[in-house]
Every structure is written in structure tokens, then in C-alpha cells.
Structure 1
């Protein structure tokens, strides 16, 4: 039986303990600022905020390219000659990364590519699901595991509110007029992944503490989320009291396993500091 190795991009924001425990291979995406290319994961997120404070611009982000994928998959194969790779990728609707993986994988045997149609915690929870399946049944046939993962892709639900409209404006994602109105009224958009696309689905008004609670309760009312696992997502700057309150609500709703993950460079570049999100799998 061939060894199965899971891989994904840095844009999944996988917690380090999960990466280590399940030997998930992570290929970095890119953050570019001051004309320098940084590998996502090697750059402290605080540097992004410092760059914005200094320039009032946000860094640009780029996908993992086909050559990098070829090197990434080839190294996994060299280190594990008889392995099968299952790569669970960042949504193809918001990045060219997955298509680049497809191009690179054309000449690589025993490689399965799955478009997760999700990002950050919504992608991470699919990888986590796959890792738990593999842990429970290490001798599972790769094709069967791939089928189970693909069946879970449309059940992954992610919603988040950015911490700063300034970052959305700087990135061209809101107009100056909308930014000024939102800033004055303390309005924060809710961003969800709909068929792999980042879509603003509703707006909340008020401080992040109240907004986060509204988001979480509405999310848990809208979706029938599996109570075994829940990801709560934060970008640096989210108040500890808010995080504590979100944990209390998760306990109130009966979740057995709640994990916090920090938004990495790819999401933080566009969402800014102090954001909050939630990701789970529908039953």
C-alpha cells in the first residue's frame, strides 16, 4: 500500500501543530512589498501592518507558480518514492495557484489535485478533515480518500469580517465613497465563499465585539455545522476578550473541538488587523 501524503498552500493558514502531527506538506504563496518578494509564512504578519502604516498601501500577493509546484511535488516524491500525493488547493476562483498546480502535475505520477474552492480556515478545515480520515484509516485507497474529500468541499462554510476597511480600500476592494460611509457608520462587511468566490453577503454595524457575536450566531443559525469541529479565525489585533467570548458561544452551541487559527499574510494583506472569522463543515 502506497503512503498517502497531504499537501496544500500557505493560504490555508494551517496551525503548525496540525502540520507537524499529520506531516502535511505546505507550499508557500508570495507577498511582495518594497520591491521584495517574501515567501508567505516566512514573513511576520506585523510587517504587513507596518508597511501599510508607512506607505498607506498594502503589499501585493501572488500565487505559487508552476515551476515552484513542480519542485515542490518532485521533492516530496524524491523523499518518499512510493507515495501518493493528495493536494488540496486554494480556491481557483481567487488565485491562479491551483491552475499552476495542474500544469506542474501533468508529468507527475500518483498525484491527485482537489480544488477546495475555499481559503484560510475554510480550506484548513478540509485539510484537517482529510488528515483525520487518514489517521483513522491509514490503509485507505487514495481514490476513495479523494472521493470523500471532494464530497466535503461544498460543505465547508467560511465567513469572516475584516478588521479594517482601510485595507480593503487600499487594495481597491471598496470605493472611497463606500469606505468613508462605512468608516463613519462603523460598518463591516461579511465576506463568505460562494462557489469558490469571495462575496460580500451582508453588513454589520458596530464595534468588532458585537459584530463578531452577531456573525457567529447568524452563521450557526444559517448552517447546520458538525459539532465535532470548528475553526475560529483571527487576524493579529483582535482583542482577547472577543476571542474568549467566541469560545463561550462555541461551548454554548455544543462544539467539541474548537481551534483558533491566525490569518496569515494572504488574508491579512486584504483584511487588516483585528478581523474575525469562522469555518466549519455542514453535516
Structure 2
């Protein structure tokens, strides 16, 4: 059964293209819309660099979910190519309608579709998809793969620093009062995900203190378990590399021979967090 089951995820999962191809994971793109012109995430027009520049330049940048029609066509194509089941693993349904689209499309699929709302974003969605892939590679069923994806996502931690809450406010991910308060007090917010929602965790006075606190949160969350870790950023490679280097040393026992990955988030997540964002996505090794 495992060999005939296909894992699908979306472009927010921050999966390297070569890794997705190697695992046979199908990645479907969300859209980034700049000044009313939409492009699939992953294209040059809405690369992280282009999105950061558009935000800095004051352009109107929004995003659009994967539609039910797109996923229905994909599921039918996979069935025609011989798939017997699909495990569809997606960004939190509290911040994107993509998971809802997968549920709708699953009802119209000629083969069973096991949908997974990771209640995570970025690399932790990708780590959940990889957990499903691992189960299938070991001969597990589609149902077992979906359960593994949900379990890994539920045990994962997402922490992120943003220079300003303004971009999250524009996208409706935090309320206007929170964004105004953050700006008025000139604080640097640290955020997390709770039950799939972006939630304020702490407010720190300087970027340096915020990034140091981010490091401590990641180390505490790791505890003594074996983990995978991705440091993600938008237009902030030096901050991300420095944080990754410190965590490579501090979490050496937790990581074993696994590398701390540094990745720039795609245009969809980038549109909501803004330039300067640095995040840690920590997932247990099951």
C-alpha cells in the first residue's frame, strides 16, 4: 500500500525541491499577488527577494490559497498515474484556506485522500510531510502516514521574530490593536503558533535581545529529544546564519549528524511576516 500512496503538500512547506523529488512528494503552489498580479509561489516574479522588495517599496502584497479545483485535478491525475491513496499535508487551516480546499477536493477524488491540517507553517509543515513519507517508505499504510504527520506536527515548535507586526496586521493574522501597541512601544515581538494561530509570545526591547531569546526558546523546546531544525528568514541571511551557528553548537547532541538548515521563506509566508523575520522550526525525530 505504501508504495502506491502519494504524499502531497503545499509550497509553504519550505521543502527543498531536490528532497521533495527524491521522496516523491508532490508540492502544489499557493499564489502571491503583487499589485493585483498573481503568480505561483516559486516563480521568479514572487521570489523571496522580489516579495521583500515589493513590501519595502510599499506595493500591495497579498496571497491566495490553492483552490479546490486545482487540488481536484491533481488528485485525479495522481489516480490516473496509478496512485491508490493520497496523504495531503498542509499549512495550518487557521492561516490559510488551503487545507479546506484539500478537504473539498478529497470528496471528489476517485481514490481516498487523507487530509492533514498540520496547524503549523513553513518548515514544520514540511517536516510533517516527511514524517508521512518515512512511514510509507517503511511499508506503512496511508492512514498510518497521515497519523504520523499529525503527530509530528503536534509535537513541533515554531518561534519567530519579526521587525514589525504591520505585515501580519495587513494580512489579518494579528489584530490592529496588537500591531499598534507594538509599534507605539517600539518593542520587538516574538511570536509562536498556538492551535494553529499566530500568537504573541513575548515582547523584547531590541532586535538583539529578541534573537537571543529566540535561541533560548528553541534550546528549551528541544530538551533532550532528537530533533530536526530549520532556521528560516526573509531578507535577513546574516541573522539567520548566526543563529544557526550558535544552535549547531548548543544542540549538537540533539541533532546527531543532522544539519541545521537555513532557508529563506517563500513569497507566501514572506508576504505576511515582512523583511527581517527570523524563525526557528523545531520538529522531533519520531
For the aligned pair, the TM-score class normalised by the smaller chain equals: 0.7 to 0.9
- Map of 1:130 onto structure 2: 132
1:80-99 deviations in Å (ceiling 9; x for gaps):
32432111111111121111
Question: TM-score, normalised on structure 1?
Answer: 0.87
Give RMSD over aligned pairs.
2.3
Instruction: State the shift of 1:160 in Å.
Output: 0.8
Alignment length (residue pairs): 274
Instruction: State the shift of 1:249 in Å.
Output: 2.3
Instruction: State the shift of 1:203 in Å.
Output: 1.4
Residues 247 and 106 of structure 1: CA distance in aligned 2, closer, same or farther (over 3 Å) = same
- Map of 2:54 onto structure 1: 51
Instruction: State the shift of 1:215 in Å.
Output: 0.7
SS of 1:279's equivalent? strand
- Map of 2:203 onto structure 1: 203
Instruction: State the shift of 1:169 in Å.
Output: 5.2
CA contact (8 A) 1:87 1:111 kept: yes
Q: Does 1:120 align with 2:122?
A: yes
The whole-number CA distance in structure 2 between the counterparts of 1:35 and 1:115 is: 28
SS of 1:244's equivalent? helix
Residues 192 and 84 of structure 1: CA distance in aligned 2, closer, same or farther (over 3 Å) = same
Instruction: State the shift of 1:34 in Å.
Output: 2.1
Instruction: State the shift of 1:73 in Å.
Output: 1.5
CA contact (8 A) 1:162 1:271 kept: yes
SS of 2:99's equivalent? helix
Uncovered stretches (5+) of structure 1, i.e. residues with no partner: none
The whole-number CA distance in structure 2 between the counterparts of 1:32 and 1:266 is: 9
The whole-number CA distance in structure 2 between the counterparts of 1:33 and 1:16 is: 24
CA contact (8 A) 1:7 1:88 kept: yes
Residues 181 and 122 of structure 1: CA distance in aligned 2, closer, same or farther (over 3 Å) = same
The whole-number CA distance in structure 1 between the counterparts of 2:90 and 2:160 is: 20
- Map of 2:188 onto structure 1: 188
Question: TM-score, normalised on structure 2?
Answer: 0.86
- Map of 2:241 onto structure 1: 243
Uncovered stretches (5+) of structure 2, i.e. residues with no partner: none
- Map of 2:160 onto structure 1: 160
Residues 170 and 194 of structure 1: CA distance in aligned 2, closer, same or farther (over 3 Å) = closer
Instruction: State the shift of 1:155 in Å.
Output: 0.6
Residues 212 and 84 of structure 1: CA distance in aligned 2, closer, same or farther (over 3 Å) = same
SS of 2:140's equivalent? coil
Q: Which moved more, 1:253-262 or 1:86-95?
A: 253-262
The whole-number CA distance in structure 2 between the counterparts of 1:157 and 1:225 is: 14
CA contact (8 A) 1:130 1:149 kept: yes
SS of 2:82's equivalent? coil
What are the equivalent positions in structure 2 for 1:1-283 lying under 5 Å apart? 1=1, 2-42=3-43, 43-54=46-57, 56-78=58-80, 80-108=81-109, 109-135=111-137, 137=138, 139-168=139-168, 170-171=170-171, 173=174, 174-175=176-177, 177-182=180-185, 185=186, 187-207=187-207, 209-222=208-221, 224=223, 226-239=225-238, 242-254=240-252, 255-256=255-256, 257=258, 258-282=260-284
Residues 128 and 251 of structure 1: CA distance in aligned 2, closer, same or farther (over 3 Å) = farther
The whole-number CA distance in structure 2 between the counterparts of 1:200 and 1:267 is: 17
The whole-number CA distance in structure 1 between the counterparts of 2:20 and 2:129 is: 10
